[in-house]
Amino acid sequence: MISPLAAALLRQLAAEGVAGWLAEDASAPFAAARLRRLAADGNFSGLRSAAGSADAVREACDALLWVYDASDGDAGLVSAALDRATGRAVDRPNLLVRISPDGPGLRAVTATVAAGQGVDVSPVRTLAGCAEAMDAYFSGLELALAAGLSLGRVAAVISVPVGEIDAEVDARLARLDSPEALRHRGTAALAVARLAFRVREERLGGEWWRVLRAAGARPPRLLWTAPLPHQLTALVGWGTGQAVSLERLEAAVVHGPPNGDTLLKAEEAGHAALAALDGVGIDMAEVFRAPGDTCREGVGRIRPHDPF
């Protein structure tokens, strides 16, 4: 179970449009009964599963299926990194297949959505990657609509590894060992989130999305993954989510409640923060293509020509 303070924090975030997701530890996966108990209070909207077998993922989906049904498909979702055959074997409507945002992955996103299956595009670390992920989702929805499928239960999240971004950039700032560089610790992920949020808003303001929305499509959710404790209340925006472990959730309580939206109409601040990091010698594109960096999740990699 979680503490009353942690539960209150999740409710406060939910009131700001931020969905709480559980992030599962591969070394200690949640039992189905525990998942049902954790979801019973309505604070958690989904699970980011570490399981790889069809049976384990199916059990997780079944544990949250009642949440999915009660919310008309808006919550109770389970993201899992599965191949196509394993995903078909799970055969649950609340499954999101986790797919890397490289070239083949984006084509797989479109094909998966076209077949009526939800997706988690992960990890996405660039503005172009965020736009490409949304376009792949839209293309899949368009194909699904043409095939006569219902769009209302086809969900998508676009996952941005905010905790890993700040951890890597802050480590590089520490190695610079200058007062000016150290002043910019903890700024990279918020800047990235603000710009990604703007990309999402622009895509959802376009005619392509308006047609799909009129047909019942659900807007994709930006999901902040591996957040550090302070980031739960620092990254707040409508239509987003936080995929957090129970340990980090409890650690976040000391940082107090969220103080309103930090992402909407904040793209200028995001650009300024990244410019400041560049000014002290942090190249964001280089951060993610360097061998051995800590900011990895899956096989998706930033492209040298694709900076924030």
Residue 14 domain-assigned? Answer: yes
Mean pLDDT of the region 125-141: 95
pLDDT, averaged across the chain: 90
Average pLDDT over residues 194-218: 97
Looking at the 3D structure of the chain, how many domains does it have?
1
The pLDDT score that the predictor gives to residue 308 is: 32
Q: Is residue 297 part of a domain?
A: no
296 within a domain of the structure (yes/no) = no
Question: Does 301 fall in a domain?
Answer: no
Q: What is the pLDDT of residues 38-64, one digit of tens each?
A: 888 777 889 999 988 899 999 999 999
Give the structural domain span for 63: 4-287
* Tens digit of each residue's pLDDT (9 = 90 or more) over 223-239: 999 999 999 999 999 99
1 band by pLDDT with thresholds 50, 70 and 90: confident
The answer to whether position 189 is within a domain reads yes
Q: Give the DSSP letter string of the chain.
A: ---HHHHHHHHHHHHTTEEEEEE-BTTBPPPHHHHHHHHTTS-EEEEE----SHHHHHHHHHHHHHHHHHTTTSS-EEEE---HHHHHHH--TTEEEEE--SHHHHHHHHHHHHTT-EEEE----SHHHHHHHHHHHHHHHHHHHHTT---TT--EEEEE-HHHHHHHHHHHHHHH--HHHHTTTT-HHHHHHHHHHHHHHHHHTSHHHHHHHHTTPPPPEEEEES--TTHHHHS--TTEEEEE-HHHHHHHGGG-S--S-SSTT-HHHHHHHHHHHHHTT--HHHHHHSTT-S---SS----TT---
> What is the structure's pLDDT at 236?
97
The CATH number of the domain where 220 resides is what? 3.20.20.70
Please report whether residue 303 resides in a domain.
no
**293 inside domain:** no
What pLDDT score does 39 carry? 86
| Residue 29 pLDDT exceeds 90 | no
The pTM score is 0.91
Answer whether residue 307 is part of any domain. Answer: no
Average pLDDT score over residue span 237-252: 96
Mean pLDDT within 73-83:
94
